[in-house]
């Protein structure tokens, strides 16, 4: 997809990888109803399209990247990301990225923060970038007992090296990033999860992080997947963000919805719908 403009901010969706989602694993309690509503989009195995999309922003003379996908490491159970190729195809050198915003610290949002050299040593993939991370998120995930768990190896590989190199800026809550970009507190998926708000020259957008994983949640905001750390809070946050997007006419930019995940949330006859761009 080509870039889109939000006032004076350019947003470029960059695919890390397409994903196929099995509703019976994703939302086992609601899978039958899910497939009744979205079966027309499923493949012959009943799998639905999702994505891991990252977003390059050009704002106020700087280049920023929102989330860094799954990364280039081979990991059992995960596809290998190809954000490096998507950046190259867009003519972006990793050294061009000055700021990385990680919406949260899950494995599919910090992957390309670092890459491994031949000796298996991690190095920061964006040699000049600073990484802006929410304090609340940091305090939750970067506890020593968490870092020791095998399921959190991605934190050791993709986040600890940033700290070692002094590249991390911790911020709290709804801080502005620049004159057009601000964090929007959207807790529930993880404790310190944030969306990224863009407002410039009368136009607005919201890059939602993992506040929603699929448009089925427009009608069922309470359908929280098991990996939401607080499913009640994430449902409230999701509903509030849908309503904010409608009320403020924000372009909706969703990294896990089918690529590129860009459009508008509208209400027609009392129901919310996604109009893909």
**CB burial string 199-209: b at 16+ within 10 A, e below:** bbeebbbbbbb
Q: Which stretch binds Zn ion (CB under 5 A): 34-42, 101-109, 150-158, 229-237?
A: 101-109
Specify the residue for token string 């946050």: 237
Provide the token pair at 6: 């939000």
Smallest gap from residue 78 Cβ to Zn ion (A): 11
67 is a contact residue toward Zn ion (CB under 5 A): no
Smallest gap from residue 134 Cβ to Zn ion (A): 15
Subset of residues 115 to 154 that bind Zn ion, contact rule: CB under 5 A = none
Q: How many Å apart are CA 257 and CA 207, to the nearest integer?
A: 12
Closer residue to Zn ion in complex, CB, 17/63: 17
Smallest gap from residue 263 Cβ to Zn ion (A): 19
- What is the per-residue binding string for Zn ion in 175-214, x denoting contact by CB under 5 A? -----------------------------------x----
Size of the residue set binding Zn ion (CB under 5 A): 2
Closer residue to Zn ion in complex, CB, 210/228: 210
What are the backbone dihedrals phi and psi of residue 267, each rounded to the nearest 5 degrees, phi first?
Answer: -115, 125
Query: What are 230-235's contacts with CB under 8 Å, separation 24+?
Result: 230/187, 230/188, 230/191, 231/188, 232/188, 233/187, 233/188, 234/187, 234/188, 234/189, 235/188
Subset of residues 235 to 254 that bind Zn ion, contact rule: CB under 5 A = none
């Amino acid at each position: 997809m080509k870039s889109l403009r939000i006032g004076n901010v350019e947003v470029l969706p960059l695919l890390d990888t397409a994903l196929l989602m099995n509703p019976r694993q994703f939302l086992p309690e609601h899978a039958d109803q899910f497939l009744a509503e979205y079966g027309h989009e499923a493949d012959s195995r009943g799998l639905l399209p999702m994505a891991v999309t990252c977003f390059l922003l050009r704002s106020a003379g700087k280049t920023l990247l929102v989330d860094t996908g799954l990364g280039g490491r081979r990991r059992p159970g995960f596809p290998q990301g190809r954000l490096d190729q998507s950046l190259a195809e867009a003519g972006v050198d990793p050294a061009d990225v000055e700021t990385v915003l990680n919406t949260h610290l899950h494995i599919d949002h910090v992957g390309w923060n670092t890459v491994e050299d031949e000796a298996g040593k991690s190095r920061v993939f964006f040699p000049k970038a600073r990484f802006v991370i929410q304090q609340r998120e940091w305090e939750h995930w970067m506890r020593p007992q968490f870092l020791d768990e095998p399921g959190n190896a991605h934190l050791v590989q993709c986040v600890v090296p940033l700290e070692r190199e002094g590249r991390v800026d911790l911020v709290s809550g709804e801080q502005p990033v620049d004159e057009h970009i601000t964090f929007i507190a959207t807790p529930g998926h993880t404790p310190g999860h944030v969306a990224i708000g863009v407002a410039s020259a009368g136009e607005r957008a919201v890059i939602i992080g993992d506040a929603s994983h699929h448009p089925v949640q427009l009608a069922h905001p309470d359908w929280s997947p098991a990996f939401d750390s607080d499913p009640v809070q994430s449902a409230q946050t999701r509903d509030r963000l849908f309503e904010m997007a409608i009320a403020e006419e924000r372009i909706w930019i969703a990294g896990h919805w089918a690529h590129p995940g860009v459009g508008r949330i509208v209400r027609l006859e009392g129901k919310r719908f996604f109009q893909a761009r």
